[in-house]
Structure 1
């Protein structure tokens, strides 16, 4: 290793030590800060969360109390109105007035007037009779055709007979106030339905009482009907509308009896709790700004943040104190090790570090012992370096001399090996050519054997062909004889058919004469009158038989003509067959001659092939002797070449070993010199 590489390595180690010291100090500070800040942050977070939950629960309790109070006001108000309506329905004067025609209008108006005056929230009290008449107070002009039985308040009372029915809220057309209508059926003493009594009620008093209720600083309570119509709200423009349906929470509110929701209204996040009145089905909603809830928790949040900041400052101070207490002795130890790395073993570690009773003190003691051991080791190395240097120089001289001698021997062996390789190569090439000739001889022998087999097969086929030609000649002669016999038979048939034709002509002539005789007999029978009737019948039968004979003769004539035509065609065909048979006989004779020639030529070819096989057998014997000689020569050449190659390889290995030994001796000498240079830089 060169001096420059050693210096670069030391510089890298110094940089690494510096970074490690910085990392340890930083890590100590970070770990201490985390161990202090984390519990504070967790405590602050859970304190804030718990406080928020407590305030939220408090808000829920407050909201529920407000909702319960609102529900109490609504129920109290509705119950008071229902009591008055029940009193009207049960009033004896009303029942007696409605069940008779005497002073009906006067009694009814007195009761309605008294009820309206005693209840300032009652905008109007009225009765709809079963016969379609209406009595109300204060008196108003009703439109023409007004029928109370068609009104919703009347129908709702009939559907819930005997119970007080509360209508959905609506804006009164005359007063422009939010109004609800309560109604109940009225029966006479006998229990028969006589009509429905109803009362329009102003909800302003409910709104006034609900408006006095508040949640927090800016929270409020609102009333909404089950259909989404706002009854009570701080914003009067919303009263009587269904704008609440446009808000995101309405779907959850309308489908649940009670619960809580967060929603956005006029750009602010709000929190609301709601409940449903069991009697009216109205939704009582208590809501407030989320910011108001968060305002109470901000104090806790600020306190938690302050605690974390204070803990951070304290953690930094504690971390710096602990880190410096640990990093200072570590820095001293690193500096001491750095001097040792630079080759200075004369310095001593401080007594303060050696006397520490902790892990850092143990490290200082270990470093001090390491220096003493290294000083002793370096002294031994320096002494051994000079001894190794002298031995390496002597070994290098000896190895150089041995290398030169080995090179001379290797060159001589290489020349011998080259000659042996050339001889082996020539012998191998001759053996290869001889092997090629041997393959060719084997192929020629194989082809000759194939030709012999083919010649035998061809001879056998030629003999079979001659036998087949002989058989064909016999068959052809038999065919010619059969054709002659058929020709004779056809000629006889033609003659017989001609004789049959002559006989047929005779039969036709006889039939014609018989027909004429029968005709004459009929004529004579006709002349004889009654005596000739029997003869006429016989003559008629004879005439019919004569006609049938003529027809049969004509049919036979047609058949004979067909037979004569077929016979003529058969004669022509037999003449052609006879001519073809003669040509076939000639061709068969020629074929027989060709097969005889082929058989003779094949006999000559077989003789030639036998002589060629004898010559090939002699050549194979000589070829085998030549192959044996070539193999012996090649084996001797290969053994000689292998022996020289082994000697050459052994010399090459010895030369390589000598060169490696010389190289190692030189390297050892160089390393010894370098080691001397290196150990000289240490001060012990």
Structure 2
């Protein structure tokens, strides 16, 4: 029933269109907002990852420089010591120095450098002074008498002299480093090296250390080595401090030797001396290859961000490496927090948009309702007017002050009613005139009928044509009465409805035909009367009774 109202139809149609537009805009806005969020988050993630990669690389590079500096000092010291002792075998220098004097120098170096765990030199058999046999089993010597003094500092700071051990041992530790690597490798390579972390006895304790070795070479002949040992604990402490300062220790940092042995691991000190495979099981081989090649790389995965920076220690061609790794969730923590804030803001904006859309919809529906009401009002007036006209009432009128199509329609309807009133008035007047003429014709017909009856009585002996004429006269009278009834009926119907105009016109045509017939009969009657008079005149006395 509601949709029978044009106002309701307009409101519903325009309301639905408005709702579709608002919903479409809302959906588009939601999709656009989500895409914007995704773009912003992706861009922020990429930027954060790139920034974190740069920061991590800088951090690893800084650690690399610091480790290099920590190892460079003892390596420079042992290199200098090797250069000095090489003067013993260099004829151009011909340094004359005793074993006791060398021991004094070694002890002095250890005392002056508290970060050193051991200072030593080891010579080939009889290479120093040819007196090995004299020093067999002497202090700081073993049964061979070779000059192999090892000045060490234990955990309590006590300094002691011991002979070096395992210097010719080719056997390997569990992590693959030879027990005599610190002597064998520089003899083989004839160049200074930083030996992979290994355990070594220091005053009855086993200490993990990094030996820094310089060979004693004169004219390409190897005579021995000088070395300084560094505790790995010092490297471990520094790596842990650096890791704690970066992302609050959420990542991890490792110092890896040339052969892939862990010299420090911030997240697990127990892995010191273990293979890199224990710390980085999935990519350790690739990472070790990059370290050995001195390649600085970065790698971003779904879970981690990893940077590898080489460490070049002194003049050694054997690179070490710093590996720094940070979880992606740590790197992107701020991005995720920003994404949550952005998502929360998006939800709030969406709620506001829904509220505004509902408000706009309600206001728009109200405006549409009022506008449609103003549009439908003149149409309703026109409908009421048309219903009145259909009921036969032509008195109502309509006044609409509009210039649009509705105004044109009401003007046309008003003009139609005005013309219909004129037509009905004309029909009514015509019907009244017809009725009046019919009454006059009826009276004349009655008078003529009476005269004809008198003539018929006076001319009883007239011809049969006179009787026929009387019958026609009576018929004419009846027709006249019938005509009067038709005219009266036509006038009545004309007054009831404008639609009877056509019937009234037909009735008037019939009346005109009847009047013409009556006039014809009247002429015939007059002719008969004239003929009768003429015949009576001709008959003279005999025809007096026939005169009309």
TM-score of the superposed pair, with normalisation by structure 2: 0.51
Q: Does 1:221 align with 2:253?
A: yes
Residues in 1 aligned to 2:184 and 2:164: alpha-carbon distance in whole angstroms: 22
1:180 paired residue number: 210
Residues in 1 aligned to 2:74 and 2:120: alpha-carbon distance in whole angstroms: 11
Relative contact order, higher structure (CA 8 A, sep 6+): 1
1:231 paired residue number: 263
Quick check: 2:7–2:369 contact (8 Å CA) kept in 1? no
Do the aligned partners of residues 140 and 193 (structure 1) sit closer, same or farther apart at CA in structure 2, a change above 3 Å counting? closer
Residues in 2 aligned to 1:275 and 1:347: alpha-carbon distance in whole angstroms: 97
1:241 paired residue number: 274
1:125 paired residue number: 120
1:29 paired residue number: 22
**Deviation digits for residues 452-495 of structure 1, max 9, x if unmatched?**
xxxxxxxxxxxxxxxxxxxxxxxxxxxxxxxxxxxxxxxxxxxx
Q: Does 1:113 align with 2:136?
A: no
* Bigger Rg over Cα: 1
Matches within 5 A, 1:500-579: none
RMSD over aligned CA atoms reads 5.1
Deviation for aligned residue 1:334: 8.4
1:577 paired residue number: none
143, 153, 157: which one aligns with 2:186:
157
Q: Does 1:304 align with 2:322?
A: no
Higher strand share: 2
Matches within 5 A, 1:249-328: 249-256=283-290, 257-262=295-300, 269-279=303-313, 280-328=318-366
Residues in 1 aligned to 2:249 and 2:170: alpha-carbon distance in whole angstroms: 48
Matches within 5 A, 1:391-410: none
Quick check: 1:14–1:338 contact (8 Å CA) kept in 2? yes
Deviation for aligned residue 1:326: 4.6
Quick check: 2:78–2:226 contact (8 Å CA) kept in 1? yes
Residues in 1 aligned to 2:49 and 2:179: alpha-carbon distance in whole angstroms: 50
Quick check: 2:99–2:147 contact (8 Å CA) kept in 1? no
1:240 counterpart SS class? coil
Do the aligned partners of residues 340 and 245 (structure 1) sit closer, same or farther apart at CA in structure 2, a change above 3 Å counting? farther
Matches within 5 A, 1:38-57: 40-57=33-50
2:326 counterpart SS class? strand
1:63 paired residue number: 56
2:227 paired residue number: 198
Deviation for aligned residue 1:130: 5.4
Matches within 5 A, 1:337-352: 345-346=383-384
Q: Does 1:139 align with 2:162?
A: yes
1:201 counterpart SS class? strand
Quick check: 2:198–2:208 contact (8 Å CA) kept in 1? yes
Quick check: 1:105–1:135 contact (8 Å CA) kept in 2? no
Q: Does 1:76 align with 2:69?
A: yes
TM-score of the superposed pair, with normalisation by structure 1: 0.42
167, 178, 186: which one aligns with 2:195:
167
1:139 counterpart SS class? strand
Residues in 1 aligned to 2:184 and 2:350: alpha-carbon distance in whole angstroms: 75
Quick check: 2:7–2:373 contact (8 Å CA) kept in 1? no
Give aligned pairs, total: 354
**Deviation digits for residues 318-363 of structure 1, max 9, x if unmatched?**
3234434554566689899999999x94499xxxx998xxxxxx9x
Deviation for aligned residue 1:299: 4.2
Do the aligned partners of residues 129 and 94 (structure 1) sit closer, same or farther apart at CA in structure 2, a change above 3 Å counting? farther
Quick check: 1:123–1:200 contact (8 Å CA) kept in 2? yes
Deviation for aligned residue 1:245: 5.4
Quick check: 1:186–1:196 contact (8 Å CA) kept in 2? yes
Residues in 1 aligned to 2:100 and 2:170: alpha-carbon distance in whole angstroms: 21
Quick check: 1:226–1:282 contact (8 Å CA) kept in 2? yes
Quick check: 2:311–2:320 contact (8 Å CA) kept in 1? yes
Do the aligned partners of residues 337 and 171 (structure 1) sit closer, same or farther apart at CA in structure 2, a change above 3 Å counting? farther
Quick check: 1:169–1:231 contact (8 Å CA) kept in 2? yes
Residues in 1 aligned to 2:32 and 2:75: alpha-carbon distance in whole angstroms: 63
Higher helix share: 1
Residues in 2 aligned to 1:270 and 1:354: alpha-carbon distance in whole angstroms: 78
Deviation for aligned residue 1:129: 0.8
Residues in 2 aligned to 1:246 and 1:282: alpha-carbon distance in whole angstroms: 16
Residues in 1 aligned to 2:64 and 2:199: alpha-carbon distance in whole angstroms: 22
Quick check: 2:148–2:164 contact (8 Å CA) kept in 1? no
Deviation for aligned residue 1:86: 1.4
Residues in 1 aligned to 2:107 and 2:282: alpha-carbon distance in whole angstroms: 46
Do the aligned partners of residues 181 and 326 (structure 1) sit closer, same or farther apart at CA in structure 2, a change above 3 Å counting? same
Unaligned runs of 5+ in 1: 1-6, 356-361, 378-684
Do the aligned partners of residues 61 and 30 (structure 1) sit closer, same or farther apart at CA in structure 2, a change above 3 Å counting? same
Deviation for aligned residue 1:134: 4.8
